[in-house]
Amino acid sequence: MAAGARLPVWQLASLNARTEILATMPYSTEGECSTAVYAPSGAREPLTPLTIQTWDWHDSLAPHGLMLQLTARSGHIVKLFTEFGMLGKIGVNSAGLGLHFNILHHEADHAAAGVPVHAIARRLLEEATSVDEAVALARSARVSASTVLTVVSCRDADPRAASIELSPARTAVVVPRVDGWLLHTNHFLDRELSKGECMEESSTTRLRLEHLQQVAPRMVCDDLRERAAAMCGQRGDAAPICFYPDLTQPDTERWETLLTVGIDTKNTILEYAAGNPDALARNGFMRF
């Protein structure tokens, strides 16, 4: 990528190590992103997993997003949403594997450098054909910053989806509940890793997870517009999963829901709209 853009490799490396750099800085009072995946195993409808995620970030840092398609060395077609210059983020491959992306913070995060989590996401999308393969690849990486990669497969398996919680302390795998739902925001769900949780108590991460738990039963909808409306619930665009920038705050504390995206693992398609789920429900979405 650096050669194609005629940039020094260190500049692309620094950009892709953003999460690792943030891990060495004072923690923000907020997290980013809410993910919901419905992936029951066995002969339960719907047979294709249903997913949706909000991407919350600083509006001043991401005036544009990139929908990228590539053919990996493995032969897989990969489609992903990312930022210009970033190796990977939210995506799907032609083997039927999808990936959602949320940041985490752990007391074990450090500045000694590790494999950038965005590079791990890219490798999973390029190589993994199943949840088990994705977990094995993620476990092989030594990290210095924490993140959760939620992977989901169109193939019936046990598990059919998993949230891979990465941290320098250990890598943990969280599987769907008995009812098939796998929900994640920005704090650790694994019992051991949660002991080293560093997300501020003032963060909305727990409030957002509680909201997802309440609305999840109504989110079993094949149509992404219906799923997005159900994700917001009766509160609509005032739901805690919808962020709006507070222009009185500095850039580092100004959060906005910049994207809502669902993954069609069966057909290798990303369904998305700029903005929060309420806006997608009202205005529709694009397919890539």
Q: What is the pLDDT of residues 179-210, one digit of tens each?
A: 999 999 999 999 999 999 998 888 999 999 99
Tell me the average pLDDT of the chain. Answer: 94
List the structure tokens of 32: 């980013």
pLDDT category at 29 given cuts 50, 70, 90 is low
Contact 182, 150 (CB under 8 A): yes
Cβ atoms within 10 Å, residue 270:
21
List the structure tokens of 188: 């650790």
Which one, of 237, 243, 231, lies nearest residue 181 by Cα?
231
Helix (H, G, I), strand (E, B) or coil at 49: coil
pLDDT at 19 over 90: yes
β-sheet bridge partners, residue 69: 79
Q: For residue 4, is it within any domain?
A: no
Q: For residue 2, is it within any domain?
A: no
Q: For residue 6, is it within any domain?
A: no
> Residue 110: which CATH number?
3.60.60.10
Q: For residue 3, is it within any domain?
A: no
Q: Which residue did the predictor score with more confidence, 203 or 44?
A: 203
Give the phi and the psi of residue 70 in degrees, each rounded to 5.
-150, 160
pLDDT category at 28 given cuts 50, 70, 90 is low
pLDDT at 45 over 70: no
Q: What is the pLDDT of residue 142?
A: 97
Q: For residue 228, is it within any domain?
A: yes
* Mean pLDDT within 14-24: 92
Helix (H, G, I), strand (E, B) or coil at 12: helix
Contact 245, 40 (CB under 8 A): no
Q: Which residue did the predictor score with more confidence, 159 or 56?
A: 56
Q: What is the pLDDT of residue 44?
A: 66
Contact 251, 58 (CB under 8 A): yes
pLDDT at 222 over 90: yes
pLDDT at 230 over 90: yes
Q: For residue 11, is it within any domain?
A: no
- Rounded CA-CA distance 185/216 in Å is 14
pLDDT at 71 over 90: yes
* Mean pLDDT within 164-179: 97
Q: What is the pLDDT of residue 12?
A: 94
Least confident residue range of 63-67, 74-78, 174-178? 63-67
- Rounded CA-CA distance 146/201 in Å is 18
Q: For residue 5, is it within any domain?
A: no
- Domain tally, the chain: 1
Contact 153, 265 (CB under 8 A): yes
Contact 97, 151 (CB under 8 A): yes
Helix (H, G, I), strand (E, B) or coil at 233: helix
List the structure tokens of 6: 């005629």
Q: What is the pLDDT of residue 20?
A: 95
Residue 174 belongs to domain spanning:
16-287
Q: What is the pLDDT of residue 62?
A: 86
pLDDT at 80 over 70: yes
Least confident residue range of 40-49, 88-97, 275-284? 40-49
Q: What is the pLDDT of residue 227?
A: 98
Q: For residue 7, is it within any domain?
A: no
